[in-house]
């Protein structure tokens, strides 16, 4: 249970604003935080580490600078070659394309699979890949200046790393969802709030961070056994029948109920604040 | 088709405010209607009876007194022992825990599986188990003073009897849903209405009951074949692909279409009010 | 890739308000656009043709006249006989009923399965079958005078051609959804908007058509490879686990990524407007 | 319930060897019964008709002549063009390929979806498409001279119209199954019998037909309500959880139990032979 | 953990041939062990008790007397009335039929859901319901004189309490499976062995019981944590994707691994025989 | 497409007996090829590399030496600590156990997910983990001296890395499957052959290798596009409904059909041997 070293990630700022809360910020300022391959590989590795880091209970994910959460996938010859099958030809190249998409999907899914809750803090430009990433976070807060766009259709592409799978399960209206997907139009904070895509709108990035941190601290004070279980079980159950979700949940809690519950009850009875071990 | 006797349930008030509408009220006033094992066993038995009672077409479910719908699971040594495996040790105790959770889940699911629509009327404190129960009802009405909380995380527990399975399928925003689950914070009537968790907010419990009863009477005047089928088919279909839902529905209506439809059409043509047989 | 002839459909008006956008309008004015068997057969055939018509990129679906989108299924002896098994008796008749429902379901599903996005424009009366149809469209716009009703329960029938399957996946609140299904009550434009059933409310039918056409033209200018893929993949994924949706999507894009993406990027770099081939 | 006319199918022989049993035989002798597009379109139309033909209770499906059940898909420029996207290019051509495969799959699935049991009688060459078709029949009988081969890999193709989906659910050993798929090797009657792919081996085609007809007559004497239900329910259930299969089956029998059961019991008590109405 | 009393079951013999092994024998000799409603209700109650009885590790299930395991469902006016909806008419009667089937299914499923392995010992007549029951046991042994028949089609009924769901997952060949379902023909021990329906054929009932008991004793000496988990996990996994099965299994073993494993390893290292606590 | 270097794997022998066929042999002779953590990590890494190595078309997997394929999981303090949660206590330790099982499962699944067919060659002792591994291979060949055992129950453990998920889908009889799982008894080559667990029995390891290599060479001469697609599509489809398998397959072949098919047909017409590019 030694502490994990996050210093090797060149494209992200990683620090701990409070104990048990980590702030992960994509940092490619000159590119509006656009993602190249290294960015999504680092993203995956960071969230895989956080998932097992006992010193982290909650994550805040944002983009560096004033202008953008992220402008999306970087359009460079290298990124494109990857999607086009490299040295292979015809159907062989398409095997490679498929594999590249699967890899990229796994990077985004690392956020969802990370056992610690992730709060997405969004400001400025949040295009394409930004939406894929945000759909994989748990709770979303945005600033009033945010510009969202499911941009992929403007690249002549059906979004393939998560938006089409997760967005319809995250927001209120399928009609709205298809509207923003087919048109790739920009929408703002208010519309995102009405649709339930974000839970809160902050005046600016600084205020947004304060909101996110306050929420993170509340969650970080809870039993990590309860919070991590809740995240996993909601994600598991939303995709399955109620009966399957219930059976899996009973099996999960057969191992997850234990000392923390005793501590929580004891604290409640003594009107003290419970303190939970690391996980 | 004789009438069913509901007198044996000590922890519930059960009466018929109008013909074909039953009002079920949990009644442990001194405990803020908290649930012990007997409560949830009785709850299950009541709803299993109602499901086959031809004299009931709609159910209203509420909590007795002014203070609470229910404050949740009673925290008593006996309830806790049950969750902790009784006389068994280690992994054997965990088999018992799992079985106890499964039993408890079945009690809540009895509301969802009851063929008659259930209107949840909520006031005052509605913590933990209250949300599990309400998610299993069909339509929810609350009073303006209601205090909801998905309380389980404060017991260091991932909610395991239905909230995590059903809430994300019931409300508008997954971001909001995770917010209230991870923080266990209290939310009120307005927020519940905005999220679609309740369909209506009433001024107080008395007005809420009038609203619930008016709605219940409307539904009770409809064909029970149509209403019971609709409840079953919505619940079946929301968890499955559209194609699976359609195939099952066609098979269902192959037996369910019959005299009531003829009566409904005849009544429509003669501009009279249809009267349907019991079911 | 010759042009498809839509002249054989007696119960529908079909024309092209702009290039690549087709307007399909049910036209049985004297019956408030009620559907008999021919209507739903023609509906299916029209959408199956549109799905493979390279000259269509977007569809607008509406009802002719001032009074109704559609008043629902025509209650005629012929329609009823079909649902009642024709010459067969007892359980044999019920086999026939089941088959008739399955056929009718397939007509509605033709809208969902059509690869081109469908914008539903609704005005006036929109009862029963109207909701089944609208749930199968992608984006819904209504007029301020619209009267929606999930009418089937008033026919003593559980809705069996799509509403019970699709409506809970389309709107915000399951509580609201069951309310309108069990009561068959009429609801209007504002309620539909709040629930996310429609994306926009227009002053009248003419304005509504202008809105729909503007939206259609925006979508028609996008890559059809991207738009058709997006529709198919959203519909596929909303019914399945995120992982299954992701895997299917990667396999889909392994063939669907190609020339259009190159054209889109080239256009973006040259700040010109991309032009995409037919599909 | 007039009789259905099967005379329009140029590529098949269709006759009734006994009352209620139809014999369908693919008849392109000069091509070893290879399938071109017309063949599979006719196959689909024939089985869709049989499914609702009250004069048919059982089907026997075989290939004409002495040499082959079928040698598979005809390798002609026209067939190949279809799979290669016709006039379209690149990813557009691949949309067309996908659609052509889906159509072809539907033809094969018409055998499985036909409510009447289908007995496959196989002799001589049974390559590629032959296996796809046979997997969709209910019971398979072969002659001792049969030569089976899952031939698609020799066309550099993963079989895409049913073998890969159905064969592993039809036979005993997945290890064997992958062996014959990856190698495309020919296997004979004895191996097919040992693996449970066929239920019986006949000396020659004539004897095989006698066996098939005897079996068909036995089944044709049973209640068609029971037999058609059994076929549908086995196919439905083998792909789903036991619980889902049970729930669907209860719903099915809620309409399917009726007069035939009364007749069967009456006949049993009076030791007479039951006679069942058409379906 | 006091001992459970099985004396209240009038239609079954229940005794313990060896410690930890219970022998359950249906005992309606005069009716060839045919099942009426009481029989299946008692069957369910017995297996629900056994599932939580720490004094039982394995069950042997057989039929009393020399002639029959069971001749199936008793054809009596009372049984038939139940399936025909009692006092209700038309579609209402069919609601009742559906409910009766669901109840009956639950009785059979109690065998599968019982956490203790069940060895079915079959002799003599084993018709209809016999197959439904046997498919729900874990391991089947038969005598050489056994006569199996999936008899339901001869009652003009699609089997609706388990055979159609479980048989195709239990045996080798779907072709064979449909053959015996559609024809209702009798098949014997050798055919059952070849198809894998039974694991062993014994000379007579006495020898069969000795084989069953020997097997039961072997299993009863194993860790009940391991055996009960294995039964549950095989049944869970055979109906789902490999990935779903694996995830559920990991969650299960997160609670189920414990003292028994330590004891097993200690015993192995000391070359002694492990002794496991009750469960 | 440079060649991949397999030299870094200390616990495996890896060589190419023929072009395009790789032979992977676990090599811990002194431990009867038992697996410690390094072994399963290397296993995963090797198969992940092979999956994308264009110089490999088929894999043969075996165990070094005369005595054992593998004796299973090494029972060492270190292996056990891993399963027991390391430094954590109570429910926290169980989170760690669950994670360790998931990691181990992924190693075994790497064999199934490897796009190249894997032939398992088994001799001598094949206990526990051996069966988990073999179930994940495609085709199994054993020697006449092999001793199989699903050994986990003897460790007081429900098998949790694949056997319980895959074995019932791989062999003929569920009754047999549960027999060998619950008893952990040893079974030999003949029984494995009869159940379809292996496709062939060889006299000894040398002959077995010759058989495996001959089979591998046959498969290696086929189009890798066809073979890799077939493996992926069989594995995908066996776990899903036929319809889901068909739809996924059509989407797959929309990209996978191409040059190889043209080459195959050209070779067939010219009666030459096709030569396929690397993949």
CA distance F188 to chain D (A): 17
User: Is residue E78's pLDDT more than 80?
Assistant: no
User: Is residue A20's pLDDT more than 80?
Assistant: yes
Contact E158 D250 (CB under 8 A): no
Residue of E nearest to A248 (CA): E248
Residues of A within 8 A of B178 (CB-CB) are 117, 138-139, 230-231, 234
Contact D256 E158 (CB under 8 A): yes
pLDDT at A84: 75
Alpha-carbon distance E251 to E257, whole Å? 11
- On average, the pLDDT of chain A sits at 95
Burial of F87 (C-beta count, 10 Å sphere; 0-12/13-18/19+) = exposed
Q: Which of E142, E227, E232, E259 is the best substitution to test chain F (most F C-beta atoms within 10 A)?
A: E227
> Which of 112-131 (F) contact D at CB < 8 A?
117
- On average, the pLDDT of chain C sits at 95
* Residue C13 CA from chain centroid, whole number: 16
Structure tokens at C120: 């539903």
For the segment C58-78, what is each residue's pLDDT rounded down to a tens digit? 999 999 999 999 999 998 877
Q: Which of B229, B241, B265 sits opposite C158 (nearest CB)?
A: B229
CB atoms within 10 A of CB A7: 6
ipTM of the complex: 0.96
Q: Which of A159, A166, A235 sits opposite C230 (nearest CB)?
A: A159
Average pLDDT over residues F41-51: 98
CA distance B204 to chain A (A): 27
pLDDT at A222: 98
| Chain region(s) in chain D for CATH 1.10.12.10 | 224-269
Q: Which of C151, C156, C177 is the best substitution to test chain B (most B C-beta atoms within 10 A)?
A: C156
Of the candidates C18, C61, C66, C17, the one whose C-alpha atom is nearest the C-alpha of residue C42 is: C61
In the 8-state DSSP scheme, what is residue D60?
Answer: E
DSSP string, D196-222: TS-SEEESSHHHHHHHHHHHHHHHHTS
Average pLDDT over residues F94-101: 95
Structure tokens at C174: 């399951």
D242 vs E: CB within 8 A = yes
Q: Alpha helix (H) ranges present in F52-162?
A: 77-83, 90-113, 129-136
Q: Which of D157, D158, D175 sits opposite F199 (nearest CB)?
A: D175
Contact A249 B160 (CB under 8 A): yes
User: Is residue E2's pLDDT more than 80?
Assistant: no
Contact C153 B265 (CB under 8 A): no
CA distance B191 to chain A (A): 11
For the segment D167-206, what is each residue's pLDDT rounded down to a tens digit? 999 998 999 999 999 999 999 999 999 999 999 999 999 9
What pTM did the predictor assign? 0.97
D251 vs B: CB within 8 A = yes
CA distances from E111 to B212, E26, E48, E118 (A): 43, 14, 8, 7
Q: Which of B255, B257, B258, B279 is the best substitution to test chain D (most D C-beta atoms within 10 A)?
A: B255
Alpha-carbon distance D225 to C252, whole Å? 41
| Chain region(s) in chain D for CATH 3.90.226.10 | 12-220
pLDDT at D3: 84
DSSP string, B206-238: HHHHHHHHHHHHHHHTS-HHHHHHHHHHHHHHH
Contact A90 F279 (CB under 8 A): no
Alpha-carbon distance A131 to C231, whole Å? 17
Q: Which of A83, A164, A174 sits opposite C230 (nearest CB)?
A: A164
Residues of A within 8 A of C255 (CB-CB) are 94
Chains with ≥3 CB–CB distances under 8 Å to A: B, C, E, F
pLDDT at A97: 95
Q: Alpha helix (H) ranges present in D32-150?
A: 37-51, 77-83, 90-113, 129-136
Model confidence at F2, pLDDT cuts 50, 70, 90, reads low
For the segment B172-197, what is each residue's pLDDT rounded down to a tens digit? 899 999 999 999 999 999 999 999 99
User: Is residue D83's pLDDT more than 80?
Assistant: no
Contact D255 C1 (CB under 8 A): no
Structure tokens at C66: 């001032």
Residue of C nearest to B259 (CA): C156
Residue of A nearest to E249 (CA): A251
Q: Which of E219, E242, E254 sits opposite F166 (nearest CB)?
A: E242
Assigned CATH for C224-269:
1.10.12.10
Average pLDDT over residues A150-175: 96
- On average, the pLDDT of chain D sits at 95
CA distance A255 to chain E (A): 5
CA distance C7 to chain B (A): 31
Of the candidates D153, D3, D124, D135, the one whose C-alpha atom is nearest the C-alpha of residue D65 is: D124
Q: Which residues on neighbouring strands pair with residue A124, listed in sequence order?
A: A68
Of the candidates C27, C82, C19, C101, the one whose C-alpha atom is nearest the C-alpha of residue C56 is: C19
For the segment F154-196, what is each residue's pLDDT rounded down to a tens digit? 999 999 999 999 999 999 899 999 999 999 999 999 999 999 9
User: Is residue C17's pLDDT more than 70?
Assistant: yes
Alpha-carbon distance F16 to D93, whole Å? 39
Residues of C within 8 A of D92 (CB-CB) are 225, 277-279
CA distances from A22 to A16, A63, A119, A230, F2 (A): 4, 14, 10, 19, 41
A254 vs E: CB within 8 A = yes
Alpha-carbon distance A31 to A39, whole Å? 12
Average pLDDT over residues D105-109: 97
CA distance D199 to chain C (A): 30
D251 vs C: CB within 8 A = no
Residue of C nearest to A177 (CA): C139
Q: Does domain F12-220 have CATH number 3.40.50.720?
A: no
Contact D228 C255 (CB under 8 A): no
For the segment B5-61, what is each residue's pLDDT rounded down to a tens digit? 999 999 999 999 999 999 999 999 999 999 999 999 999 999 999 999 999 999 999
Q: Which helix (H) or strand (E) holds A119?
A: strand A118-122
CA distance D175 to chain F (A): 4
Chains with ≥3 CB–CB distances under 8 Å to F: A, C, D, E
Residues of F within 8 A of E233 (CB-CB) are 158, 160, 164
pLDDT at D2: 62
CA distance D247 to chain B (A): 10
Q: Of how many residues is chain F composed?
A: 279
Average pLDDT over residues C166-190: 96
Low-confidence stretches of chain B (pLDDT < 50) are 1
């Amino acid at each position: 249970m030694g502490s994990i070293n996050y210093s090797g990630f060149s494209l992200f700022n990683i620090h701990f604003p409070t104990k048990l809360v980590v702030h992960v910020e994509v940092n490619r300022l000159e590119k509006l935080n656009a993602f190249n391959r290294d960015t999504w590989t680092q993203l995956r590795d960071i969230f895989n580490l956080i998932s097992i880091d006992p010193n982290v209970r909650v994550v805040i994910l944002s983009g560096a600078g004033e202008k953008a959460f992220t402008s999306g996938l970087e359009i460079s010859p290298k990124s494109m070659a990857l999607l086009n099958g490299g040295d292979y030809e015809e159907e062989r190249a398409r095997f490679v394309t498929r594999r590249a998409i699967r890899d990229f999907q796994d990077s985004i899914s690392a956020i969802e699979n990370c056992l610690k809750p992730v709060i997405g803090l969004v400001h400025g430009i949040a295009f394409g890949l930004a939406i894929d990433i945000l759909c994989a976070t748990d709770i979303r807060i945005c600033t009033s200046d945010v510009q969202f766009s499911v941009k992929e259709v403007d690249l002549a592409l059906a979004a393939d790393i998560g938006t089409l799978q997760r967005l319809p399960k995250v927001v209120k209206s399928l009609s709205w969802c298809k509207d923003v997907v087919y048109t790739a139009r920009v929408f703002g904070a208010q519309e995102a709030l009405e649709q339930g895509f974000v839970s809160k709108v902050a005046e600016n990035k600084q205020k947004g961070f304060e909101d996110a941190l306050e929420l993170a601290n509340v969650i970080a004070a809870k039993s990590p056994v309860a919070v991590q279980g809740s995240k996993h079980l909601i994600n598991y159950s939303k995709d399955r029948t109620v009966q399957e979700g219930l059976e899996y949940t009973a099996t999960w809690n057969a191992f997850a109920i234990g000392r923390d519950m005793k501590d929580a009850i004891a604290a409640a009875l003594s009107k003290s604040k419970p303190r939970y071990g690391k996980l």
